Structure 1
């Protein structure tokens, strides 16, 4: 269970969702009953029937920033800059007056340190240094840069979601129309705290109407924040997964939320995490006695089979990439072989996979 190849499965490209369902809660929901090892097929709005009065639903309220910037090098060559640690950039801005953070740079030849990039709309950025595949970039303009980023930046969609930049006749819709749609679709309805460069995608299935239905049923909702970073997409490159170093991500759990979660656990009510980001944050902040502490900082918890869960009783999650840390996490929560069997069923039943795809409820 520690070999990377233990987390491989076959997935046809046709099942990788390129857009969400027209109505979020009409996406499909695979229900896994850990007690009886049952699998059933529902729609996401059926989650209202599967949750119980008194359950505490924990959601990640991070908001995705348009973190992709397109522009040119001084030579005229095209360049793409992806901000991968917005939270660190905001901290640097508060301390120094300039936005500087880790980025990924894509170009025919990576620009040398000291190179000034033109990223449009008067955005100038200086490459400060390189660390392996990551580059430190300083953006000019101080606080004004943030407003320019919101106007100019593109949503940082995962690489498996394709957008046609120059569609010909009958080849789809223009990219700017996709961008406008993705700015809405690639956010949860409860997104609030800006800072993520990837959406907590399990939450994309919720609508305000569904949340209202859950509230009427007596299901409580608590909000935490984990600014999802580039680490979500970093492939595991080691044969033994225990040797993998996961990227850290900035989190916040306030005092009231910690008290709400601890009270639910004391009362014997279920804590249900929406998404692997919520799972990681909750488990990172929970001690061996099952008590969660308020705080903020960097979460670098890597959960794989053998991990003992201290807080989370059930989870809602999407279907994840082969050999990904997210697939390892849900394998730790249930059972690796049963999870892979469920994925085979999902492929056979033509579920839609990954960020814009369908969901799974593991109870």
Structure 2
């Protein structure tokens, strides 16, 4: 048995999910989503809904959320030579250069043309399949804030590939959190998509609640390719922790992290004392949380760094046990799916 479930082996984090349990649209209202609650102290499992979250949370708690905002990061255009092209923006780099994924064959110096006179020039092809590009509009380099405006005018929300559909009008609201503020993400911090104004208000009234920012990158969906999880090269994402949130982290008060992005940001801070920069922390059973006490999260892809993060909290065997239980109970999985609360 121990050979099969080796927490260092990527294959141990695999599970079979019936296709019909992949949520392609959210439930409405959002807090009707199901919630599996696992209490580590009592080893008790409870099935409830997000709207009853306050009833299951410990009383004295600091809640931290991610206020990143998703850019319409997928744009369609064509090469100067004529072939169609799809570009997925990932993140800004120094000197107005940007990391992107490009569908279709491109070479260095390939020029790509889009609506609103937006042009992209491919500067470098990276080994991992990403591309470094520079954007121009009317022969002027485009800075990040201007680029966000253009993308939001001509682009599409980058729904995760497993939804297997194009974005729809409703996604403009459904795939942003109620408190999304700082543009920069190409994926939503999905644990927060279940909050309704009523639920958020109730949480604010009963608990200390604050925000930090981590711009979720496309790497969040990337499965771990290495056989040994410790050989995985973790993607990095820009984060920022405001002073008030930092003070809460420096206190001894128990913390509920809403989502894996908040968890990684807090844990990176607890290890480095950095309040902004690039977070590339890989949490797993060998690298467990130091500061986060409780986690509210969705159900994640097999063999992903995110399911390994869950195992950092509760161990590999318990993670798989809860995932198999969620499948048996017809929980909906992934970004628009149901959630799990680890106490």
Smaller-chain TM-score range?
over 0.9
| Aligned-partner Cα distance in 2 for 1:308–1:161 | 31
Question: Does residue 126 of structure 1 match 2:121?
Answer: yes
Q: Which stretches of structure 1, 4 residues or more, deviate above 4 A after TM superposition?
A: none
Change (3 A) 1:92 1:179: farther
TM-score (norm 2): 0.93
| Aligned-partner Cα distance in 1 for 2:149–2:266 | 32
**8 Å contact from structure 2 (residues 110, 122) kept in 1:** yes
- 3-state DSSP of counterpart to 1:25: helix
| Aligned-partner Cα distance in 2 for 1:23–1:195 | 26
Which consecutive residues of structure 2, in runs of 5 or more, have no partner in the other structure?
Answer: 1-6
Question: Does residue 68 of structure 1 match 2:74?
Answer: yes
- RMSD of the alignment, in Å? 1.4
Query: Cα deviation per residue 1:27-50 (whole Å; 9 max; x = unaligned)?
Result: 000011111222111011111111
Question: Does residue 203 of structure 1 match 2:192?
Answer: yes
| Aligned-partner Cα distance in 2 for 1:145–1:344 | 43
**8 Å contact from structure 2 (residues 148, 183) kept in 1:** no
| Aligned-partner Cα distance in 1 for 2:41–2:82 | 60
- Identify the residue that residue 37 of structure 2 maps to in structure 1: 31
Q: How much has 1:117 moved relative to structure 2?
A: 0.7
TM-score (norm 1): 0.88
Question: Does residue 307 of structure 1 match 2:287?
Answer: yes
Q: How much has 1:309 moved relative to structure 2?
A: 2.0
- Identify the residue that residue 103 of structure 1 maps to in structure 2: 100
Q: 2:170 aligns with which of 174, 177, 181?
A: 181
Question: Does residue 116 of structure 1 match 2:100?
Answer: no
Query: Cα deviation per residue 1:63-109 (whole Å; 9 max; x = unaligned)?
Result: 111111111112322110011114x3xx534xxxxxx21110101xx
Q: How much has 1:294 moved relative to structure 2?
A: 5.6
- Identify the residue that residue 283 of structure 1 maps to in structure 2: 267
Query: Cα deviation per residue 1:229-285 (whole Å; 9 max; x = unaligned)?
Result: 12101121110011001011110012221112323x1xxx32000001111110110
Matched positions, count: 330
Matches within 5 A, 1:143-292: 143=143, 144-163=146-165, 178-216=167-205, 218-263=206-251, 265=252, 269-287=253-271
| Aligned-partner Cα distance in 2 for 1:243–1:294 | 25
| Aligned-partner Cα distance in 2 for 1:249–1:67 | 16
Which consecutive residues of structure 1, in runs of 5 or more, have no partner in the other structure?
Answer: 94-99, 164-174
Q: How much has 1:52 moved relative to structure 2?
A: 3.3
| Aligned-partner Cα distance in 2 for 1:273–1:243 | 27
Matches within 5 A, 1:49-88: 49-86=55-92, 88=93
| Aligned-partner Cα distance in 2 for 1:77–1:40 | 53
